[in-house]
């Protein structure tokens, strides 16, 4: 533990000396006072990490000193010592803001443990405050990048819906920032201090997803050795993000519909209804109306989710946002990687604005991060970016897919999937991003066309 500056207050000289010797031997700098009034004056004149004070003193006792300490130096931690150890005095001290409570007589080790425990709690509390502040700033509405008409409309929608309980459906291609919008809604609303829980509906089978969403009871199925709390319960009072909700299986859709309508459900293997106040935000990169038409998605569930729709257009449809995004990510990644890159050449900026960005903002972000890490020059040029898609004004015929009239939709889709896989060296994750579908959907298409 780091060296601390500690103030000891006790009206008994022997106890003051004992505590001072114990803490000094542990490597701390220790000052002593005989009364609470002297302690307050010391706090005013000197900054302390920790105060260790007796409870029973006159005329100012330990509780009164603690109140004065909180007023004069809120960040100074405090441990109360007393020979009159009762539950009542302990509760009073803790309610008034004491960090710990130790009964006399105590061994040196017990005091050192109390000091270490108190300062560790303080460190964790400060770290938690810092992380909360960082998260709030990262997902605050005003931290989002883009000032074009489309993004201004999105910002306006976020502000209007943030404080409501209404279900939000965020739609757009992969990489457009749907999760960022969901988090901005949460952090801008009245539930910002409550949980934000996410589940990727495309990554789990129907059985696993049901257990993740609703939890299960012990013994509900093979391997269910303990009760599990589901994401709906974990998000009670806060927000549950159903990422790629279009991938939920038809077998699970009725239970989700009931949970949304009734705000209650049973765990897998359970019979007791569980009521929650969980706000639902969903994302989808698929055409849900088409999924309803072909029978893969329930119409009543679609309408239950489609209360407040927010559409995120692809980056190629809001090119005015590309330059500010470039500057934002360059600043971020040069700081993170301690690089001294000053900017982009005019040719690089033109390349970015002309490029179609099939992977949207995520692809742009990755391109800049890769260039920052791999480049030793001070200005980024076009050759520092390996962009595999098309440019609006200079399309590469090698990236075009031509099919003759009379080709069926299935054959055209198969050809497009095969050509995309070729362009990305058979990387299915990248191919799915380029095609604007989930990896699971791509895998199903490959099986359907006997390509897998």
Residue 355 has pLDDT above 50, yes or no: yes
pTM to 2 decimal places? 0.59
User: Residue 218: its pLDDT value, please?
Assistant: 87
Is the pLDDT confidence value at 399 over 80? no
Q: What is the pLDDT of residue 16?
A: 93
> For 73-87, 163-177, 398-412, 421-435, which range has the lowest pLDDT when averaged over its residues?
398-412
Q: How confident is the model at residue 145 (pLDDT cuts 50, 70, 90)?
A: confident
User: What's the CATH superfamily of 5-132?
Assistant: Response regulator (3.40.50.2300)
One of 1.10.3210.10, 1.10.246.90, 3.40.50.300, 3.40.309.10 is the CATH number of 140-313, namely: 3.40.50.300
Q: Domain 401-448 has what CATH class? A: mainly alpha
Tell me: pLDDT of 125 over 50. yes
The pLDDT-based confidence of 405 (bands split at 50, 70, 90) is low
Cα separation, 14 vs 48, whole angstroms: 22
Residue 33: is its pLDDT beyond 60?
A: yes
The tens digit of pLDDT for each residue in 238-294 reads 999 999 999 999 999 999 999 999 999 999 998 889 999 999 999 999 889 989 999
Please, is 364 exposed, middle or buried when counting C-beta atoms within 10 Å of its C-beta (0-12, 13-18, 19+)?
Answer: buried
Confidence grade of residue 86 (pLDDT, cut at 50, 70, 90):
low
Confidence of residue 394 (pLDDT cuts 50, 70, 90): very low
pLDDT score of 221: 86
In this chain, the answer to whether the domains covering 5-132 and 140-313 adopt an identical fold is yes
The pLDDT score that the predictor gives to residue 393 is 44
Quote the distance between the C-alpha of residue 130 and its chain's center.
Answer: 14
Q: What's the mean pLDDT when you consider all of the chain?
A: 87
What is the Cα–Cα distance from 107 to 86, expressed in whole angstroms?
19
CA dihedral (392, 394, 400, 405) positive or negative: positive
pLDDT higher than threshold 60 for residue 392: no
Percentage of the chain surpassing pLDDT 70? 90
pLDDT digits (tens, 9 = 90+) for 317-353: 999 999 999 999 999 899 989 998 999 999 999 999 9
State residue 389's pLDDT score: 56
List the single range of 53-67, 353-367, 393-407 with lowest mean pLDDT. Answer: 393-407
pLDDT band at 445 (very low <50, low <70, confident <90, very high): confident
- The CATH class that applies to domain 316-384 reads mainly alpha
Query: What is the Cα–Cα distance from 322 to 387, expressed in whole angstroms?
Result: 15
Handedness of CA 428, 433, 438, 441 (dihedral sign): negative
Show me where the domains of the chain are located. 5-132, 140-313, 316-384, 401-448
Give the Cα separation of 7 and 31 in Å (integer).
5
Least confident of 141-155, 242-256, 376-390, 404-418: 404-418
Contact 23, 115 (CB under 8 A): yes
pLDDT category at 131 given cuts 50, 70, 90 is low
């Amino acid at each position: 533990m780091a060296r601390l500056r500690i103030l000891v207050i006790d009206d008994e000289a022997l106890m003051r000396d004992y505590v001072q010797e114990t803490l000094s031997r542990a490597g701390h700098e220790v000052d002593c006072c005989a009364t609470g009034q002297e302690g307050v004056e010391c706090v005013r004149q000197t900054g302390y990490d920790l105060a260790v004070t007796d409870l029973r003193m006159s005329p100012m006792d330990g509780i009164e000193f603690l109140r004065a300490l909180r007023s004069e130096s809120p960040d100074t931690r405090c441990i109360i010592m007393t020979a009159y150890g009762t539950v009542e005095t302990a509760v009073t001290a803790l309610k008034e803001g004491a960090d710990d409570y130790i009964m006399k007589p105590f061994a040196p080790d017990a005091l050192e443990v109390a000091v270490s425990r108190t300062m560790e709690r303080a460190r964790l509390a400060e770290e938690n405050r810092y992380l909360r502040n960082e998260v709030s700033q990262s997902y605050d509405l005003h931290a989002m990048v883009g000032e074009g008409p489309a993004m201004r409309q999105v910002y306006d929608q976020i502000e209007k819906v943030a404080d409501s309980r209404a279900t939000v459906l965020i739609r757009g291609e992969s990489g457009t920032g749907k999760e960022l919008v969901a988090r901005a809604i949460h952090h801008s609303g009245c539930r910002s201090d409550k949980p934000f829980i996410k589940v990727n509906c495309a990554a789990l089978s129907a059985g696993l997803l049901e257990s993740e969403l609703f939890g299960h009871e012990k013994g509900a199925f093979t391997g269910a050795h303990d009760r599990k709390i589901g994401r709906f319960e974990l998000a009670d009072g806060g927000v549950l993000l159903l990422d790629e909700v279009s991938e939920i299986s038809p077998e699970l859709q009725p239970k989700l519909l009931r949970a949304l309508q009734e705000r209650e459900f049973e765990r897998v293997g359970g019979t007791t209804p569980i009521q929650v106040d969980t706000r639902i935000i969903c994302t989808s990169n698929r055409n849900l109306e088409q999924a309803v038409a072909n029978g893969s998605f329930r119409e009543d569930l679609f309408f239950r989710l489609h209360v407040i729709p927010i559409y995120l257009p692809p980056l190629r449809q809001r090119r005015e946002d590309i330059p500010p995004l470039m500057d934002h990510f360059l600043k971020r990644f040069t700081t993170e990687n301690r690089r001294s890159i000053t900017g982009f050449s005019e040719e690089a900026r033109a390349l970015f604005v002309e490029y179609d960005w099939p992977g949207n903002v995520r692809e742009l972000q990755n391109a800049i991060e890769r260039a920052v890490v791999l480049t030793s020059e001070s200005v980024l040029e076009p050759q520092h970016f390996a962009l595999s898609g098309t440019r609006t004004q200079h399309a590469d015929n090698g990236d075009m897919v031509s099919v003759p009239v009379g080709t069926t939709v299935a054959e055209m889709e198969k050809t497009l999937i095969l050509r995309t896989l070729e362009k990305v060296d058979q990387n299915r994750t990248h191919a799915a991003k380029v095609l604007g579908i989930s990896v699971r959907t791509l895998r199903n298409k490959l099986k359907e066309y006997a390509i897998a």
